[in-house]
Structure 1
Amino acid sequence: MDSFPQDSPLISVTDLETALASPRPPVLLDIRFQLGSTSSRGEYEAGHLPGAHFVDLDAELAAPPGTAGRHPLPDPEVLGAALGRAGVSAERAVVVYDAGPAMSAARAWWLLRWAGHPDVRVLDGGLAAWQAAGLPLSSELPPAEAGDFKPVPGLLPTLDADGAAAFARTGLLLDARAGERYRGEVEPIDAKAGHIPGAVSAPTTENVGADGRFLPAAALAARFGGLGAGTGEVAVYCGSGVTAAHQILAMDVAGLSATLYPGSWSEWSRDPQRPVATGAQPG
C-alpha cells in the first residue's frame, strides 16, 4: 500500500502499523458511529485496533441536539475530558478511524484541528482496510489515560445559518448529503426535505472508491474543480455537520480548503423562516 505525503491528513494501514511499533506511537481513537444507534461502543468492545480508545460521537464529539441541530459542536470541557481519558496530548500524534470509509472519523479529525491539535490523521479505509490487510483486532480495553490536551476552539472557520445563506449567494456552498435528499425526494430524519437555495449537490460517497479508501488527490481535485472549487471560497454542510467534515477532509487531500456549517440541514430545516429549495440544481 502506498504511503501518503507527510502533510497528508490520511495515513495508510502500512504506515500506521509502522508508527504503532515505534518508540512513541500515535494515540488511536475509534470513532465508530451508526446513525440511529445509541452507541457503537459494543462493536468497539468486540474488536478494535490494539490500544485504541473509543470516543462516542453523540456524547463526546457533539453537544446535545437542539435548535442548533442534531450534532452541535461540543462543549470544549466535555471534548477535552474525553480526549484526555484517551491519552491525547498536544505533543503526541493522533490517528482516528471508524469502520470505513471515515464518515465519522472525519468529524473527530476536523474537531481536533478546530480545537488546536497539530498532528491528527485519518486511517484511510478504516477498520475494514486494517482487517483486509490481515492485521489483528483486540477485545482488550485499554485503561483510561491522562492526556493533557486542552482544546482551544475556533481555530478552523465555521458558519451559522445566516452565514450559510450569505455564502450560497457569494461563494460555493456544497451539500454533502445523498443526491435524493438534496433534491427533496426523501428526508429520513430532518424536519423538511430539500436543500439550502443556491447550494450545489456534492455527495460525500463520491470521495471514495468501492474499497472505502479516498480517491487519489488528483481525482479529488478534478471532482471539486468540476463543482466550482478553486476559484473562490467554499463552505460545506450535510445533515448535521458530520459527513460535511468528510467533504472537508477530501478537499484537504486535494489541496483545497473549506468552511464547515456545523448546524447544517438539521438546523436550517427546523426554522420556518428559512427558505427551502427542491429539485436538481440548475444547469
Structure 2
Amino acid sequence: MSSIITVDRLKRRLQNDQNNTMIIDARFQLNDPDAGRKAYLDGHIPGAVYLDLDKDLSGRIAKHGGSHPLPDIDTFVAKIGHIGIDNDTTVVVYDQHNDMFAARCWWLLHYIGHEKVYVLEGGYNEWIANGNEVTTDLPKLTAKEFKPALRTDEVVDIQDVKEKKEETVLIDSRAKDRYLGQQETRYKRAGHIPGAKNYFWKDVLTNHGKWKNKDELDRHFEQLDKDNEVIVSCGSGVSACPNIMALKIAGFQNVKLYPGSFSDWISYDENKIETKEE
C-alpha cells in the first residue's frame, strides 16, 4: 500500500491538468491553534484548501472521548463534498514537513472509504525547496458528493482496548519520555496505558525527515506479527496516524486506531497507568 506522493509526481499531475485532484493543507500547531490557518493565508500550494485539526478534523471535546475526538462523520463527509471531493477525486494532503496532521487527515479520508488519498512527502517545505510556486489566492470550489463506506473495523473504543485479545498489540506513539511518565505537559496524569508498547511516531521517518521505505519499515516493526491485531494510540489520536500509515506501508492489514488514546483513558479516574517499559 502506497500512501506517499512525491513533490515531482504531484507537480507532473498538476502540469498535465489531470482532472479531479484536490490538495488539502493540514498545517497546524498544538501550541498555537491559529498558526496553521495563518500560514495557509500567507501562502499555500496553488489550489489547496485548508482543513483545521480542531475545527474540521476533530469533534467537540466532552468529558470522555479524548482531546481530539473524531468529528461527526456525517458533518465531515458533507464538508469534504462541499470543498469538491467525490469518490473519484485524488486527494493529496500536506503539512509543513512530514508532520502528524496530514496523516490525521489521510486517516479520516481512509476511514470514510476514500481509496485515493496521499500524503505529500516533505510537505510544504519540500514543495518550496524544489522551486515551486505558492499563492495567497483562495481556490474556487465546486461542490460534489462523496458517498462514504466507513471502515468501522479500523476503529476501537476504550472498552475494546480493555477487552483486547492476549495477542493484540497496543502501540503508544508518543515520545518515550511521555510514554514512561517522565514528562507530561498536556495531561493531568503521566505514563501510558498498561500493556502498551512504545513506537514513537517520528521513528517512521529517516534521520533526514523523509518517510522510510517498506523495507526499512519492515525492520522497524519486525518484532510485531503481521497476523495479529494492532491497536495504535497516542495522546489524542493524532500522532497515532503516521504509525498507522507506516504499518500499512509495511504490509500490516489488521491495524486499528484508538481515537481517544491516552487522553480518553485517563478521563476515567479508575483506569490504571503504567510508567515502565513494556
- Classify the secondary structure of the residue corresponding to 2:154: coil
Matched, 1:132 2:129: yes
Matched, 1:266 2:263: yes
Partner of 1:14: 8
| Distance in 1 separating the partners of 2:245 and 2:11 | 22
Matched, 1:64 2:60: yes
| Distance in 2 separating the partners of 1:147 and 1:101 | 29
Partner of 2:21: 26
Partner of 2:241: 245
Sort the Cα spacing of 1:89 and 1:146 in 2 relative to 1 into closer, same or farther, 3 A. same
Question: 1:169 deviation in Å?
Answer: 3.9
| Distance in 2 separating the partners of 1:34 and 1:207 | 20
- Classify the secondary structure of the residue corresponding to 1:104: helix
- Per mean C-alpha deviation after superposition, the further-off stretch among 109-118 and 32-41 is 32-41
| Distance in 2 separating the partners of 1:133 and 1:11 | 14
Question: 1:30 deviation in Å?
Answer: 0.6
Q: Number of residues paired by the alignment?
A: 274
| Distance in 2 separating the partners of 1:151 and 1:58 | 22
Sort the Cα spacing of 1:156 and 1:57 in 2 relative to 1 into closer, same or farther, 3 A. farther
- Per mean C-alpha deviation after superposition, the further-off stretch among 172-181 and 84-93 is 84-93
Q: Is the 8 A contact 1:115 1:151 kept in 2?
A: yes
Q: What whole-Å deviation, never above 9, does each CA across 1:91-137 have from its counterpart, x for those lacking one?
A: 11111111121311111111111111121111111112112212111
Partner of 2:197: 200
Q: What whole-Å deviation, never above 9, does each CA across 1:202-233 have from its counterpart, x for those lacking one?
A: 0001011233220111011111113x242522
| Distance in 2 separating the partners of 1:155 and 1:94 | 21
Gaps of 5+ in 2: none
| Distance in 2 separating the partners of 1:233 and 1:43 | 38
Partner of 1:4: none
- Classify the secondary structure of the residue corresponding to 1:121: strand
- Per mean C-alpha deviation after superposition, the further-off stretch among 113-122 and 160-169 is 160-169
Partner of 2:33: 38
Pick one of 146, 149, 155 that aligns with 1:149.
146
Question: 1:152 deviation in Å?
Answer: 3.9
Sort the Cα spacing of 1:123 and 1:156 in 2 relative to 1 into closer, same or farther, 3 A. farther
User: Which TM-score applies when normalising by structure 2?
Assistant: 0.93
Question: 1:165 deviation in Å?
Answer: 2.4
Q: Is the 8 A contact 1:93 1:120 kept in 2?
A: yes
Q: What whole-Å deviation, never above 9, does each CA across 1:156-209 have from its counterpart, x for those lacking one?
A: 511111211233743111110000010001111123100011110000010112
Q: Is the 8 A contact 2:20 2:88 kept in 1?
A: no
Question: 1:155 deviation in Å?
Answer: 4.3
Identity of aligned residues (%): 36
- Classify the secondary structure of the residue corresponding to 1:105: helix
Matched, 1:162 2:156: no
Pick one of 175, 186, 191 that aligns with 1:189.
186
- Classify the secondary structure of the residue corresponding to 1:225: coil
| Distance in 1 separating the partners of 2:270 and 2:165 | 16
| Distance in 2 separating the partners of 1:49 and 1:156 | 34
Q: Is the 8 A contact 1:100 1:126 kept in 2?
A: yes
- Classify the secondary structure of the residue corresponding to 1:170: coil
Q: Is the 8 A contact 1:85 1:147 kept in 2?
A: yes
Task: Letter of the 1:17 partner, please give it.
Answer: K
- Per mean C-alpha deviation after superposition, the further-off stretch among 19-28 and 65-74 is 19-28
- Classify the secondary structure of the residue corresponding to 1:167: coil
Task: Letter of the 2:163 partner, please give it.
Answer: A
Task: Letter of the 1:29 partner, please give it.
Answer: I
Question: 1:250 deviation in Å?
Answer: 0.9
Q: Is the 8 A contact 1:47 1:139 kept in 2?
A: yes
- Per mean C-alpha deviation after superposition, the further-off stretch among 10-19 and 252-261 is 252-261
Task: Letter of the 1:237 partner, please give it.
Answer: S
Task: Letter of the 2:221 partner, please give it.
Answer: F
Gaps of 5+ in 1: 1-6
| Distance in 2 separating the partners of 1:273 and 1:65 | 20
